[in-house]
Amino acid sequence: MLYQHHPEDRLVILEEARRIVNSSGFVIVQDFAKKDSSEKSGLKFENAWFNNFAYRTFLSTADQPDRFFEVFKWADGRCHQVRPGQDYPLVMSKAA
């Protein structure tokens, strides 16, 4: 739940995850966030828990550590209802 941390702490946590990820691995972030290239982390974290599908799953690959791919959008933090994220087709095409 990175949204609960101070922005500086989020960066430290994400940098550590990217540092230790295996070269063929990826970092998964599932949180109340959206992609935002103007943010240092690449994600803008939200406090709106019940905003329309604001809980999302992102992947960051070891070969593109500064880029997040939005895979899923969840109706809420309980993850009972899901929609494809913005980058779902791209991620699934690379997984095949």
Q: What is the per-residue pLDDT for 47?
A: 77
Name the token pair of 33: 């966030």
> What does R_g of the chain's alpha carbons equal in angstroms?
13
3-state SS assignment for residue 57: strand
Tally of CA atoms within 13 A in the half-sphere of 80 that contains its CB: 2
**3 state DSSP class of 67:** strand
Threshold 0.75, pTM exceeds: yes
Predicted confidence (pLDDT) per residue in 3-21, tens digit: 889 989 999 999 999 999 9
Please give the structure tokens belonging to residue 53: 């599908």
